Structure 1
């Protein structure tokens, strides 16, 4: 053994040279391998599509992500009792860490380089001891993120695809607590004698390092314009990294890329986009920082790179802190309630003890239940980015500190709550909304969590009741300390419910709605100056609010809208100056977002689809609008035989067509009202997307009527001014079932076609057939099939199939119409909101009641 040691000592210089040469070979080899994976033609195409500013941001964020790793070498030199020049430390540390990122091999290369760079004035044993303390903590940050990702998958916050990697996440997550405990309780000189100060510095450095990696990867995707959910991508990235590190492939090349390509493709991102994403990430996080490290090493540039960041990385870190903050608030609240609900389970199962951030037996049930539920609601306020949520959350975390001090404080609990408090403070800038509007989606999620916890508590109490005989043995972890404590807890839940409602009420604040009442002069000015569309005239029904957009001080665009819960339902395309539509849409979305509403655009054309797609909106086809090309319309030919026969029959029976011009006499309006009431036959009038009988509304445009030979009105349809010669249309189409024979409406339509053609109108708009050719194919989008089911079974008035069939008799072409909604909305709730608002009784009719009234008010 002595001979072997002596042989190594004699050849130590040569071994160092061989090691350094090996490092150079490995680096060159890995750079060549990475170069093979990069298609420079593909990168050229990507660079052409991405603005230069965004490319610069990707590079800057990638560089910033490297900086936290300098902390390892700062701690290492402290352990070695050295104080190297700061510029030298930055240059060498940057080079070592960026080289290790590319070459990998489990940190062996970085250990050798650090020994060479920082160990010249210290004994070899001291260097090994110091390196062992530093290197063992480099994966602690990844381990923390693996635990958080495991919690995401465990709580169902991620897609089903990620569930299969839970074992890797929990395996990676266990690394940190094991290393932490060994460093605290171990007695070895290579790890056990580490001081608390250096220990937490290393943990903090590692956490910041892996936060930087995540921020670099995620921001690259965002700057490429890729749409995705961070909570889906982060666990996938962490799992892929853990697998890549275990494989010990340099730079995780191959295994990481393959898993990310498959995983992100499963999330709906095309493989070509994923490949480009990974290439850019590797370019800006691996290659460019390494090249800069070499330049810094030789040119002594120092720390000037920080001047170019402009605070952008801080904003990204705040966003990530906000996401983590919400997760931790929900998780902490849930664990507190569970610790009071099934306290014995936390003693029987180790994994529950490890999961629980507040290690107490929660003998004092009321504070645990109260704080738990309130933290969940605070988490909702923070998730909704409501300004009012900041101070209640701070107070609740501080109260949790006080509670844990009384119930059994631990160092881990203190660290956890401190970290949570820092997240809240750091991400305060993310809270910008003026109010909380509790959406049906959020109500479902929080109701499931809070209701599930309350139901579990009740079930546990019933199971523990001595008066109930159980056929099967009750699992021990369901045992409760005593019936008296359970009763106290149950009473606490009832009291907490009231306090929770008060907190929700505080977060909501005074309700502020979007839009203004209709002002005839403002609306008319926009329509006459810039034009409108077939839905513009509905604004004069005054059953909706109006959002005005101004260019300078002049109104140029308006939207028609109604509010349901947190949904801002915008009826039809905007009216006014088309050039201002994108800016007006952005202004509306921004205003809605400020007050916590989610816009839903109803019955929109393809032009609005393209505008809203740029804002990240999803869309589904909702139906088709029938257009008749009037210059080609004729009753000749076999296709029109039925309509021609019906038309001639009405003429022979003495029916006449006429167009009445406003203003209309009281007698005429009375006749029209009689026809309308007879046609309704007791049914309620609907508004929003359809017109209803309103004298003020009808007085604004001509009315087409059908008269019998006695000169009595038997049918009518009011014109809908479109402020364009391109399209003409009508709104109310009503006839007397007693006096109007079969075919009267065909007679009315044919005469309207001929009349408008003579007026120079190109197309007649027959209106939309909802759900025409939507969701009926097995290959249709899931959202469209859900929409079809909700609207088909929920509507009480429409016969969708019959409407499409009737309009198809005349239609020259069918134009698709769409519903567009935020990706934070659930399509089922979107369709329910549209169904209720579209079928709500008009002003002055019977008011909605029950849950419908509650949702309308909230």
Structure 2
């Protein structure tokens, strides 16, 4: 006997597997023989008698029935002193229990899953000990019901067929009393340390779990109008469940079903009804909760993956999700308009019929067109992530759903719009911008869409006219053949649609105005005190002084309460065009750029960084910005510059000639008298010859601006000023430059600006300046080669032919006479911007009249 027991223990796994295999084969064979006797037509008739709302209630009750099972894991939290939040316990418990319902295997699957979720994959003795105690009580609810119905069939008149299962009910019924008494008396071992409170808590959880199963099963029988009384159906259900558990087949699949089909068939219920009953039960209590659990499990895995890869997967999913919603809104709007415009096309053409998710026949004319265009504009608001678009989109989708109900009810249409409504609700947190700034790019896209839809509507209306007359009264028939799917039902319908388009335009204007809000802007007007503080404390660059022209806004970055960096920019359309590199504390540049991008984004603007250095390019490229080369700036090394040598032979001759002719160089310091300013203005006007000045990236004649810094002058023999240039400080000893270079067209000799430059080089060298910046040669070496970026070639084209005042050809050649170093300058722009529109914006800003932007 001992040898036999040892042999069984040694091969226990093999014997268990063979037992499951044999049982499974027998069950499958029995199921196959049963299904051969089923009638599909009868099955279909029974299914047709169950309404959609009954299906919905069954599924809802099946989901609710799972909830009591969550009590096991909340009890585990108390027993093992777990520190997980309740939400995590809820989600993990749903996943574990719904998977275990299908997998079965005596609860072993649930132990492994709970150890993974609550023990983080490690063999936590505390958790494993608590799980073994819980597992013992899982069947206590089934045992209580088994004992109850065993007593019931002994003392009450029930079906003889049900009574034959008394042994299964008795065996299962004895389980709970034995376990409860054993747990109460056992001081050591498996059930030791289990408090009375936890024992009752586990018992109640198990009882309500099995109650949920019984209620779900009984409700399905009620909707199927089963004639079998519950006093017979429930004991048979419990007995079949016990047999399914003993069979050890996952979820009792097969063995339970065979018992129920044979049992209910013997009680007079058609097999087709029994099969449908079991199918609905499996779907409601097992598969639907499992699908929800699978979604939660996917979320759990995705959260871990997202944490591992620093949030990148979540950002990617959110972006895809957002684009999906926008695409669906645009698709819905266009389809609704087209259905109203060419309804026959969606009934006579199969591919269009399949493309149309609405399947609506009555939706046409004004409501459909109005809703369609409204969906398009709300799609734009959602695409721009505007907060104000949320509630109008929700209301619009609800109205569309009701409209579908009232006109031509289609379950597919309603489901489609309900799904879209849910997607918008879920995506609410992605709508963070304060306003819609309608960019030229989006205007172009939307304009093409609106234009095609409107023109299509008008053309179709014209070609739908049955005939038309010329001014001689001759009558002509239209060449299009009747019956084409582009024909309207009538001209009257088309006219009403045309009126609808006029009304739609008004609605679109109102919606767009609403989404735009109060048009908040980034930054603030020039704050001279802050700008001076930053520049004198931390230094600047060759563009910093341009902020005092007052033609740009100012963005100030604060380190705590101390202003350390500023950016100067001008806003046009949705583009905040920043002039040059940031000014101020270099260590804060990255933080300042990040803050500026964030503030622009919140208000719907896209920064464009104009004429920046390579270092800024590297920083902004990490933020996802594209760049193009805009030209090169020329630097003169003042410590090595000399007029000696063959290269400077012409410059030496020029200096000697003008010196002999009595021309002199002088640097004057502010403040300047009115007489000096008047002379300088006369020179500037002569040089301009009536043309308007550039602004933004270059200085213009502005007295407050000129009064800030020294001015280099060239005077003739009579002491008259004939040329001048204002010296621009960088607030460092690294470099200096000039801004306005003006000479009198009549009084200034040829070469006066070279005379000024060469003297200025010596002046700045004596002041300790290392480099003189001659400024940028725009488009220098940009877009010249076949391998150049297409963006750079477009930029070169726009900029080359867009300037009215300055010609860029030959500028590099002129500066090369003195330059010893060339540094590239770039323009950075967001990938949401089109390079063509970026260049147009730069062109407009650079050539905008100074009196249009200048503010005191």
Shorter-chain TM-score: which interval?
0.5 to 0.7
Q: Give the Cα separation in 1 of the matches to 2:503 and 2:351.
A: 31
Match of 1:452 in 2: 452
Aligned partner (choices 810, 815, 838) of residue 823 of structure 2: 815
**Cα pair distance change 1:120/1:394, threshold 3 Å:** closer
Which deviates further from its counterpart, 794-803 or 500-509? 794-803
Superposition deviation, residue 357 in structure 1: 2.7
Superposition deviation, residue 11 in structure 1: 15
Please tell me whether the aligned partners of residues 318 and 426 of structure 1 are also in contact (alpha carbons under 8 angstroms). Answer: no
Match of 1:421 in 2: 421
Match of 1:464 in 2: 464
SS of residue in 2 equivalent to 1:830:
helix
**Residue 354 in structure 1 maps to residue 377 in structure 2:** no
Match of 1:123 in 2: 254
SS of residue in 2 equivalent to 1:659:
strand
Q: Give the Cα separation in 1 of the matches to 2:304 and 2:777.
A: 45
Superposition deviation, residue 219 in structure 1: 5.6
Please tell me whether the aligned partners of residues 576 and 608 of structure 2 are also in contact (alpha carbons under 8 angstroms). Answer: yes
Superposition deviation, residue 205 in structure 1: 5.1
Please tell me whether the aligned partners of residues 386 and 435 of structure 2 are also in contact (alpha carbons under 8 angstroms). Answer: yes
Superposition deviation, residue 423 in structure 1: 1.1
Structural mapping, 1:566-605, within 5 Å: 566-605=574-613
Match of 1:408 in 2: 408
Match of 1:139 in 2: none
**Cα pair distance change 1:200/1:120, threshold 3 Å:** closer
Q: Give the Cα separation in 1 of the matches to 2:278 and 2:450.
A: 43
Superposition deviation, residue 319 in structure 1: 5.3
- 5+ residue gaps, structure 2, are 1-14, 25-87, 118-244, 262-271, 469-476
Q: Deviations over 1:462-481 (max 9, x none)?
A: 22121254445467221211
**Cα pair distance change 1:400/1:838, threshold 3 Å:** same
Q: Deviations over 1:191-221 (max 9, x none)?
A: 9976896899489659949986996899699
Tell me the matched-pair count: 631
Q: Give the Cα separation in 1 of the matches to 2:497 and 2:100.
A: 51
**Cα pair distance change 1:354/1:601, threshold 3 Å:** same
Q: Give the Cα separation in 1 of the matches to 2:305 and 2:351.
A: 30
**Cα pair distance change 1:69/1:676, threshold 3 Å:** farther
Please tell me whether the aligned partners of residues 68 and 205 of structure 1 are also in contact (alpha carbons under 8 angstroms). Answer: no
Superposition deviation, residue 72 in structure 1: 12
Aligned partner (choices 691, 711, 717) of residue 699 of structure 2: 691
Q: Give the Cα separation in 1 of the matches to 2:494 and 2:837.
A: 37
SS of residue in 2 equivalent to 1:784:
helix
Q: Give the Cα separation in 2 of the matches to 1:360 and 1:199.
A: 36
**Cα pair distance change 1:711/1:451, threshold 3 Å:** same
Please tell me whether the aligned partners of residues 96 and 113 of structure 2 are also in contact (alpha carbons under 8 angstroms). Answer: no
Match of 1:655 in 2: 663
**Cα pair distance change 1:81/1:606, threshold 3 Å:** closer
**Cα pair distance change 1:190/1:791, threshold 3 Å:** farther
Match of 1:555 in 2: 563
**Residue 758 in structure 1 maps to residue 781 in structure 2:** no
Q: Give the Cα separation in 2 of the matches to 1:214 and 1:793.
A: 56
Superposition deviation, residue 701 in structure 1: 0.7
Please tell me whether the aligned partners of residues 466 and 478 of structure 2 are also in contact (alpha carbons under 8 angstroms). Answer: no
Match of 2:507 in 1: 499
Structural mapping, 1:233-382, within 5 Å: 320-382=320-382
Q: Give the Cα separation in 2 of the matches to 1:810 and 1:535.
A: 21
Q: Give the Cα separation in 2 of the matches to 1:656 and 1:747.
A: 9
Q: Give the Cα separation in 1 of the matches to 2:510 and 2:563.
A: 41
Please tell me whether the aligned partners of residues 362 and 368 of structure 1 are also in contact (alpha carbons under 8 angstroms). Answer: no
Please tell me whether the aligned partners of residues 99 and 290 of structure 2 are also in contact (alpha carbons under 8 angstroms). Answer: no
Q: Deviations over 1:647-695 (max 9, x none)?
A: 2221222211111111111111111000000000000012111000011
Please tell me whether the aligned partners of residues 567 and 599 of structure 1 are also in contact (alpha carbons under 8 angstroms). Answer: yes
Q: Give the Cα separation in 1 of the matches to 2:108 and 2:448.
A: 57
Please tell me whether the aligned partners of residues 343 and 362 of structure 1 are also in contact (alpha carbons under 8 angstroms). Answer: no
Q: Deviations over 1:497-533 (max 9, x none)?
A: 0011100100111111111111221111111111111
Q: Give the Cα separation in 2 of the matches to 1:562 and 1:463.
A: 49
Please tell me whether the aligned partners of residues 435 and 508 of structure 1 are also in contact (alpha carbons under 8 angstroms). Answer: yes
Match of 2:388 in 1: 388
Please tell me whether the aligned partners of residues 369 and 500 of structure 2 are also in contact (alpha carbons under 8 angstroms). Answer: yes
SS of residue in 1 equivalent to 2:435:
coil
Match of 1:486 in 2: 494
Structural mapping, 1:623-662, within 5 Å: 623-662=631-670
Superposition deviation, residue 826 in structure 1: 1.2
Match of 2:785 in 1: 777
**Cα pair distance change 1:846/1:461, threshold 3 Å:** farther
Please tell me whether the aligned partners of residues 77 and 118 of structure 1 are also in contact (alpha carbons under 8 angstroms). Answer: no
Q: Give the Cα separation in 2 of the matches to 1:480 and 1:772.
A: 59
**Residue 675 in structure 1 maps to residue 683 in structure 2:** yes
Superposition deviation, residue 361 in structure 1: 2.1
SS of residue in 2 equivalent to 1:330:
helix
Q: Deviations over 1:724-783 (max 9, x none)?
A: 111011000000111112211111111111111121111000001111111111111121
Q: Give the Cα separation in 1 of the matches to 2:742 and 2:305.
A: 57
Superposition deviation, residue 836 in structure 1: 0.4
Match of 1:533 in 2: 541
Match of 1:61 in 2: none
Q: Give the Cα separation in 2 of the matches to 1:526 and 1:194.
A: 74
Match of 2:110 in 1: 87
Which deviates further from its counterpart, 206-215 or 672-681? 206-215
Match of 2:806 in 1: 798
Please tell me whether the aligned partners of residues 73 and 93 of structure 1 are also in contact (alpha carbons under 8 angstroms). Answer: no
**Cα pair distance change 1:635/1:123, threshold 3 Å:** same
Please tell me whether the aligned partners of residues 377 and 508 of structure 2 are also in contact (alpha carbons under 8 angstroms). Answer: yes
Q: Give the Cα separation in 2 of the matches to 1:624 and 1:364.
A: 60
Superposition deviation, residue 482 in structure 1: 1.3
Superposition deviation, residue 452 in structure 1: 1.4
**Residue 611 in structure 1 maps to residue 634 in structure 2:** no
Q: Give the Cα separation in 2 of the matches to 1:214 and 1:800.
A: 58
Match of 2:129 in 1: none
Q: Give the Cα separation in 1 of the matches to 2:423 and 2:359.
A: 21
Superposition deviation, residue 15 in structure 1: 11
SS of residue in 1 equivalent to 2:627:
strand
Q: Deviations over 1:29-55 (max 9, x none)?
A: xxxxxxxxxxxxxxxxxxxxxxxxxxx
Structure number with greater Rg is 2
Superposition deviation, residue 69 in structure 1: 14
Q: Give the Cα separation in 1 of the matches to 2:734 and 2:762.
A: 15
Q: Deviations over 1:138-183 (max 9, x none)?
A: xxxxxxxxxxxxxxxxxxxxxxxxxxxxxxxxxxxxxxxxxxxxxx
Superposition deviation, residue 582 in structure 1: 1.1
Please tell me whether the aligned partners of residues 69 and 93 of structure 1 are also in contact (alpha carbons under 8 angstroms). Answer: no
Q: Deviations over 1:339-379 (max 9, x none)?
A: 11111111122332333232212444111011111111111
State the TM-score, normalized to the length of structure 2.
0.67
SS of residue in 2 equivalent to 1:476:
coil
Which deviates further from its counterpart, 723-732 or 116-125? 116-125
Aligned partner (choices 789, 812, 829) of residue 837 of structure 2: 829
State the TM-score, normalized to the length of structure 1.
0.67
**Cα pair distance change 1:643/1:386, threshold 3 Å:** same
Q: Give the Cα separation in 1 of the matches to 2:528 and 2:626.
A: 33
SS of residue in 1 equivalent to 2:810:
helix
SS of residue in 2 equivalent to 1:787:
helix
